[in-house]
Copies of this chain bind each other. A is one copy, B any other.
Amino acid sequence: MSARRTPGLPAIALDRGSATPLYRQIYEGYRAAIIERRLRPGQRMPSTRGLADELGLSRIPVLNAFEQLIAEGYLQARAGAGTYVSSALPPQRSDGGPAPSGLSGRAGRGRGRRVSRVSVRLPASQPWLRGTGAFAIGQAAISDFPYATWTRLLSRHAHRLTAGLLRYGSPFGHLPFREAVADYLRTTRAMHCEAEQIMVVSGSQQALAICARALLDPGDQIWTENPGYHGGRAALQLAGARVVPVPVDAEGLDVAAGISRAPEARAALVTPSHQYPLGVSMSASRRLQLLQWASSRGAWIIEDDYDSEHRYESLPLGALQGLDRDRRVLHVGTFSKVLFPALRLGYIVVPPDLIETFAKVRAAMDICPPAFLQAALTDFLREGHFALHIRRMRRRYRERRAALADGLRGALGEGFRIVGDQAGMHLVVELPKGLRDREIAKAAAEVELWAMPLSWCYAGRALKQGLVLGYGGNTAPEIRAGVRRLEEVIRSIRGGRTRP
C-alpha cells in the first residue's frame, strides 16, 4: 500500500495487490476526499494524463474513475475547461460521524436509532431454542431422511430446467405441486380442497404471518391457545392483532371460555390435531362448538396442523377443515417436520372466496415461492416416497418416544407426570411443586440440553410448570443419555435448594 500525494490534491491510498481494482481505489479515494471537504467545491482537478503520471499508473484507471465520479455528480466536466469538484454538494457535519468500516465501532449505538415498537415487543431468542441436541423441539430425524432418493430427484430436476421454472410464478406456487398436496390432504386428512386453494409458503410461520395480515387489522382480537405456540403469537403481534389467551384442557381449546372472554373476536388460532405444546387433540365436541361459533359470528379459524402426521395410538386424525361446512377454516401445514426444516415448504388451504385476498397479501410480502424444490417434492409425493417415509418415521419416532418416556419414568420420582405423548415429536413432563421450569431449562442449556419451559408457552401467568421435550431429532441412546443429564440437572437444583 502506498499513499500518493499529487500537488494540490489530498493523498489517496493505492494498493496494487488488492482485489479492489485500481480505478475503484482512485474513485473511492477522491470521493472520500470530496465528501470530507479535503477537496473543495469548485476546485479544479488535474488532467487525467497528469494524474496518471503522478500516480505512476496507466491513464485508463484514472479515466474510468473520473468518468464514474462525473456520472455520480462528484465532479463536473466543463467543456474545454477541465474537470472541477461539483459545487452543488451540501456541506457535511464536521465530526464526520463514526468510521464506516468494521463491526466493532460504536456506530449506531447512540441516539435516534429507534426501531419499531412491534419489533421490540417480539420475544428474544431463548437459550432453549438454540441447539439441535436432546431435547430440541420440532427437529425431524434427519439421519433417516432418504438422502439417495432426494439426491436423485434434485438431480433429475436440475437436468430438466425449463424457462417456466425460472420465471416469476403464481403467488400461490407451482401448480403440479399444489395438485399433489391437494390429493394428499383429501386422501389422508379427510379434507375438502382443490389445487386452486393451495397456497405454497415457506412453512407454518410464513403461513401464519400471511393469514394474520389477510384476516386481521391492528387491534382486532384473536383467540389463541394458552399455553400455545410462541411463534404463532409473534406472527399475530407483527400484524398488530390483540391476542386473547384461551385456556386449553384435555379436550383442547375451551370454546366456552373463549366466548365468555371475547365473543366478538375476529378469529381463533388452534392446533386441533396435536395441541402445541400440551399434545392433546381437540375433541369432536369442541371442534363442532368452535366451527359453530365461527359461523355464527363471522369469525375465521386458523388451523395450524404443524405435525399431525405422526400419531402412535390411532390413525391420523381428520383435519378440522374437513368438518367445516361454512369455509371458515384456513388450514396450515408444513413439510418441515415430516421431511426436513431447511426445505422451507408448507401450504395454506384457502377458502375459495378468499383466494384473491391471499394472493394480494402474498404478493406484497414475498411475490411467489421458489419453483425448483416444489418440482422435486412433487415427484417425492407422487412416487410414493413421502408415504413410505411417514410410515418409517412413525416407527422410528415411536421407538424414540418410548426411550424418552421410559427413561423419564425411571429417572424422575414422584410428582412428575408425562402428558401429550400420543402423537407428534415432543411430550411434556409436568413438574412437582417447588420446581421452576425456567430455572431447569437455563441450567439444562448450559450442559447442551434444550428443554423448553412450559411456562414460557403461556401468555401471562403460567398455570403449570413443566418441560417440553422433543425426541424427533435424537437417537434412543442420545435420548437416554440426555435423560440422565437432565436428572442430574434437576437433582443439583433440588440439592441447591435444600442446603441452608
Q: Are B108 and A326 in contact (CB under 8 A)?
A: yes
Pick from A4-12, A287-295, A385-393, A410-418 the stretch touching chain B. Answer: A287-295
- Size of the A side of the interface (Cβ < 8 Å), in residues, is 144
Given A89-B288, A155-B159, A342-B372, output 5 extra A-B contacts at Cβ < 8 Å.
Answer: A64-B315, A93-B292, A112-B295, A139-B167, A342-B371
Interface stretch of the complex, out of A66-74, A394-402, A445-453: A66-74
Do A31 and B318 touch across chains, with their CB atoms under 8 A apart?
yes
Q: How far is the CA of A420 from the CA of B27 in the complex (A)?
A: 24
**Which of B67, B117, B214, B373 is close to A370, meaning CB atoms less than 8 Å apart?**
B373
16 CB-based A-B contacts, threshold 8 Å = A20-B187, A23-B315, A27-B190, A71-B315, A72-B284, A89-B288, A92-B288, A108-B352, A114-B298, A118-B217, A122-B364, A151-B161, A166-B340, A209-B364, A238-B364, A344-B370
Contact A352 B103 (CB under 8 A): yes
A360 vs B233: C-alpha distance in the bound complex, in angstroms? 13
A317 touches B72 (CB 8 A): yes
Is A192 an interface residue when CB atoms closer than 8 A count as contact? yes
Bound form: Cα–Cα A315–B69 in Å? 10
**Are the CB atoms of B168 and A98 closer together than 8 Å?**
no
Nearest B residue (CB) for A230: B364
Could you tell me if B366 and A112 are in contact, using CB atoms closer than 8 angstroms? no
Q: How far is the CB of A88 from chain B (nearest CB, A)?
A: 4
Would you call A285 an interface residue if the criterion is a C-beta within 8 Å of the partner chain's C-beta atoms?
yes
- Tell me the smallest distance from the CB of A6 to a CB of chain B, in Å: 21
Tell me, yes or no, whether A2 is within 8 Å of chain B by CB: no
Question: Of all chain B residues, which has the CB nearest A139?
Answer: B167
Q: Are B97 and A295 in contact (CB under 8 A)?
A: yes
Asked whether B119 lies within 8 Å of A361 as measured between CB atoms, the reply is: yes
A383 at the interface (CB under 8 A from B): no
Known: A92-B288, A342-B371, A370-B370. A115 touches B215 (CB 8 A): yes
B155–A150 CB distance below 8 A: no
In angstroms, how far is the closest chain B Cβ from the Cβ of A113? 6
Q: Does A443 contact B (CB under 8 A)?
A: no
A206 at the interface (CB under 8 A from B): yes
- Decide: A116 and B217 in contact? CB cutoff 8 A: yes
A360-B119 in contact (CB<8A): yes
Q: A24 vs B318: C-alpha distance in the bound complex, in angstroms?
A: 10
B116 x A213 contact (CB < 8 A) = yes
- Contact residues in B for A57 (Cβ distance below 8 Å): none
Measured CB to CB, the nearest residue on chain B to A364 is: B234
Interface segment among A195-203, A432-440, A462-470, A479-487: the answer is A195-203
Chain B residues whose CB sits within 8 angstroms of the CB of A124 once the complex forms: 356, 360
Chain B residues with Cβ below 8 Å from A254 are none
Q: Contact mask A143-161 → B, CB, 8 Å, 1/0?
A: 1010100110011011101
